[in-house]
Amino acid sequence: MSPRDRTLVEALHDPLGMGESEAIALAVEHNCTVIIDYRIVRLKAKSMRLKVIGTIGLLRLAYDKGLLNKSKLAQALRELKEHGFKVSDEIINGVLKRLK
């Protein structure tokens, strides 16, 4: 799926990457939440009044909906970090501490 508004994509492309620009443009066109982890991109999306969620928030949502148990969530967070996802141990521990 590609965004129809190429002008918006091109306007966002500096300083954002093409994929990030297209993700934001699609969220605008479809009035939906955009999944983004990079801070600068999140700030841009929020400045456009889009709903934003990151990978950790998405995993937490899966937990809240009963799709993941605490053990699976912890495992997913560890594996993300092991594979290069930039997240501190403090954030991981904070997420796990706040679980019901």
Is 28 found in the same domain as 16?
Answer: yes
Is 49 found in the same domain as 18?
Answer: yes
pLDDT, mean over the chain: 94
The answer to whether residue 28 sits within a structural domain is yes
Task: Provide the residue range defining the domain that includes 36.
Answer: 6-53
Sign of the CA dihedral with 19 first, then 21, 23, and 25 last: negative
Is 46 found in the same domain as 77?
Answer: no
* Model confidence at 1: pLDDT above 90: no
* Model confidence at 33: pLDDT above 80: yes
Chain position carrying tokens 């521990």: 93
Note the pLDDT of residue 59.
96
Is 46 found in the same domain as 16?
Answer: yes
Note the pLDDT of residue 93.
93
Q: Which helix (H) or strand (E) holds 63?
A: helix 55-64
Angle at 26 between CA 58 and CA 1, to 5 degrees: 95
What's the gap between Cα 68 and its chain centre?
18
Is 46 found in the same domain as 79?
Answer: no
Note the pLDDT of residue 100.
75
Is 59 found in the same domain as 49?
Answer: no
Averaged pLDDT, 29-53: 95
What is d(CA 44, CA 33) in angstroms, rounded to the nearest whole number? 13
pLDDT in tens, 62-88: 999 999 999 999 999 999 999 999 999
Q: What are phi and psi of 36, to 5 degrees?
A: -145, 140
Residues in CB range of 1: below 8 A, 6 or more apart: 26
How many independent structural domains does the chain possess?
2
The answer to whether residue 1 sits within a structural domain is no
Note the pLDDT of residue 15.
83
